[in-house]
Amino acid sequence: MELKDNEKICPECGRLISYCNKHKANRAIKNNTTCKSCSRKGDKNPMFGKPGYFKDKKLSDDHRKKVSENHADVSGEKNPMFGRVSANKGKILSEEGRQKLSKALKGKKRSIEAIENNRQAQLKYHETHVSPKLGKKVSEEGKTKMRLAAIKRISECKFNGNQFYPSYNKKSISIIENYASINNFKINHAENGGEYFIKELGYWVDGYDTNNNIVIEFNEKHHKYMIEKDTQRRNNIINFLKCDFIIIDENLTITIIKYENK
């Protein structure tokens, strides 16, 4: 199978990896990166040694019903294994057997043809099976809970429970400080006390003047592709802090949004 410009093979499992463009693929080839699955195996997995999130949790009756309806074509007598007894039923693999199996499989890679066959089978399956979550949107409250859970997970897994901070654009610091100096603002930012963290929302802001209750955000060029997301984030921050919001674009265009219910 001939690889496309934006494809590479995982050096560990042999899985086909596709990238959005050839430049990212070339960089991945140069760095010899693995697929997402291999990069999270064993102790690399943030959940390594921890109980699963769904342990002891039960599906609701409504969820069970949807799962049952979605798999109706392969359940009961329609299941190819219906009425058959598994060859391994009741058998327990000895430690010696486990070690032999581990050694036999270690280092083996699936062929590109096998990977492609599996991919085609998955595509065919999803043509007739619709996910129960299709078309559903996560509420803002749900998004906030997910964001806070992700921050907590990263903090516990990578920073031993300590507070961490996101990366920031060093170019923005001088621009924010210059604007703050002209307008007599006292701004906390990444290099002055750290970016202000709104723990209830799970957001960090580029700059925040606590005395005047003013948030300053620096937007790089790529933010033109994130208008809807940025607007929702901005509204959440304004409504929670009841603050004024200042946006400084990379071309130094300044937008001031006042809190209307002051």
Q: What's the Cα-to-Cα distance from 7 to each of 3, 82, 85, 212, 253, rounded to whole Å?
A: 6, 40, 41, 51, 39
Torsion, Cα 238 206 209 153, to 10 degrees, reads 70
pLDDT tens, 75-122? Answer: 888 888 888 888 888 888 888 888 888 888 887 888 888 888 998 988
Identify which of 168, 215, 166 has the alpha carbon closest to the alpha carbon of residue 188: 215
Torsion angles phi and psi, residue 75, rounded to 5: -105, 160
Q: Do residues 119 and 217 both lie within one domain?
A: no
Q: Do residues 252 and 178 both lie within one domain?
A: yes
Residue 153 lies in a domain: no
Q: Do residues 195 and 242 both lie within one domain?
A: yes
pLDDT tier for residue 25 given thresholds of 50, 70 and 90: confident
pLDDT tens, 164-200? Answer: 778 899 999 999 999 999 999 999 999 998 999 999 9
pLDDT tens, 35-57? Answer: 888 888 888 777 778 777 777 78
- Spatial distance between the Cα atoms of 184 and 11, rounded to a whole number of angstroms: 55
Q: Give the contacts of 247 (CB within 8 A, at least 6 positions apart).
A: 216, 217, 219, 234, 254, 255, 256, 257
Residue 158 lies in a domain: no
Query: With 80 as the cut, is the pLDDT of residue 1 above it?
Result: no
Residue 200 lies in a domain: yes
Q: What pLDDT shows up at residue 52? A: 75
pLDDT tens, 131-142? Answer: 777 778 888 999
Q: What pLDDT shows up at residue 43? A: 80
Q: Do residues 19 and 130 both lie within one domain?
A: yes
- Spatial distance between the Cα atoms of 191 and 170, rounded to a whole number of angstroms: 9
Q: Dig out the tokens for 72 from the structure.
A: 């109706």
Residue 146 lies in a domain: no
| Sequence letter at residue 175 | I
Q: Do residues 180 and 243 both lie within one domain?
A: yes
pLDDT tens, 224-258? Answer: 999 999 999 999 999 999 999 999 999 999 999 99
Give DSSP secondary structure letters for 79-113: STTTT---TTTT----HHHHHHHHHHHTT----HH
Q: Dig out the tokens for 177 from the structure.
A: 């400080």
Residue 34 lies in a domain: yes
- From 106, 134, 162, the end of a domain falls on 134
Residue 33 lies in a domain: yes
Q: Do residues 189 and 125 both lie within one domain?
A: no
Residue 39 lies in a domain: yes
Query: With 90 as the cut, is the pLDDT of residue 14 above it?
Result: no
Q: Do residues 32 and 118 both lie within one domain?
A: yes
Q: Which residue has the higher pLDDT, 121 or 156?
A: 121
Q: Dig out the tokens for 226 from the structure.
A: 């994130």
Q: Do residues 119 and 204 both lie within one domain?
A: no
Residue 66 lies in a domain: no
pLDDT tier for residue 262 given thresholds of 50, 70 and 90: low
Q: Do residues 33 and 130 both lie within one domain?
A: yes
> What's the rounded mean pLDDT across residues 190-216?
94
Q: What pLDDT shows up at residue 207? A: 95
Q: Do residues 27 and 122 both lie within one domain?
A: yes
Q: What's the Cα-to-Cα distance from 114 to each of 1, 11, 129, 260, rounded to whole Å?
A: 11, 16, 22, 60
Q: Do residues 224 and 120 both lie within one domain?
A: no
Terminal alpha carbon distance of the chain: 64
The rounded radius of gyration (Å) of the Cα atoms in the chain is 26
Q: Give the domain range for residue 195.
A: 170-257
pTM here is 0.56
Counting the structural domains of the chain, the total is 2
Q: Do residues 184 and 250 both lie within one domain?
A: yes
Query: With 90 as the cut, is the pLDDT of residue 208 above it?
Result: yes
Could you say which DSSP state residue 188 is in? B
